[in-house]
A and B are shown apart, each in its own frame.
Chain A
Amino acid sequence: MAQTAVPGAGLPPVVLEPHPSAARPDFQIVPRAGLPIVALVFGLLIAGIAVNTPWPLQFLHVVGGAAWTVIDLFLGFVIGPIMGRLSIPARIEFTTRLMPKMVLIMPTVVTVTLAAGWQLGTKLGTVQSDYYLHGWIVASYIVVGVMAVIALGLLEPANIAVLAELKKRQPDPQVIERLMKRFIFTAGLTGLMQIATLVIMTKLAAG
């Protein structure tokens, strides 16, 4: 029988012969049932940009940004440490249920937030270089840029790769440990960056 272990951040990996009842649940790396929802959200984004009036853009930017910030903070500081303390079967089941959803959710909310935010900023004139809080706007670009490089270069590939590994008949515990550590570490890092985002966005809102 295959040995399987899903480690957590900061804890030693545990390798156990899984009990037959603790077999990995079947899952799709990209949950196809969620694709129509993603298409709908992107359709709303295109419509919002095409209409180019403040309310739909504000709605998309705030909803997307709130989801992005909350998910990053919750994943980095709440879910990550909890995952490290779950039993092995629970960790496997949690991972195979949570991470496929993240494959769809995160790129969607990030795209909606950025595209709607840019359009809104153009509409309101806040992205223009003569805006009186231009320095704060540029700071937000930098924070988002750093988060994007971390998320796209480390977090997203680790997310996909750990799911691909869990799909194998005999997942390699060391591979899963390495990738999960990378995932949880980068999630914590982007969670920290989100605090900077909150500081900047509240300053921009307050004026």
Chain B
Amino acid sequence: MNSIHDMGGMHGFGAIPIDENEPVFHDEWEGKTVAMRIAMNAWRKWNIDMARHTVERFSPGEYLGMSYYERWITSLADMLVEADLVSLAEIANGRAGPGEKQTPPLTADAVPVMIKNGRPSARELDISARFQVGAAVRTNTDNPTGHTRLPRYARGRTGEIVICHGAHVFPDASAHGGGDAPQHLYAVRFSARELWGNSAEPKNSVILDLWESYLNNA
């Protein structure tokens, strides 16, 4: 979707806020939020694509007004409600309503093991890759209303395949309950001038990882 999260190339946000002595978390609640998010992954009620899309659905004003972890805690609440693990009323009241207790899917002991094994996005796929390294490709100009990982600044642009990553879960499907729907994934290099016009430095480039259905023969 064409929302505020797609920030590449936007103007007006000022200087980079560099603080050499910043703490990892500015407040304890930020750490707790990250911890809860990771712990909740064990339920497998949502995947990383759904989690990203939940933040993208915030209105632009709301998104800009929140810090990174403020978006994380708010989207966690959204996902818990959407997955029926808690209700909006319970969150608003801060206490559980009547009903049966949930059963945790794993004990705390098992969490580090799950994290260590991870949830990689690579998948086996019988279909061979359509593009090879060195191929010229042109990206789609579509404006999907759902989740997508083709940013606006790279739509309708011509680049060159530089790495074939193999097949990976397709976020545009996975974010909407469409399963893994794996596709071949490629690192595609675009010259800075192709993306930003003649004011860009001619030798600079931007590399994006793009799924096969985003790409066409150039």
Do A and B come from the same complex? no
A interface residues, Cβ below 8 angstroms from B: none
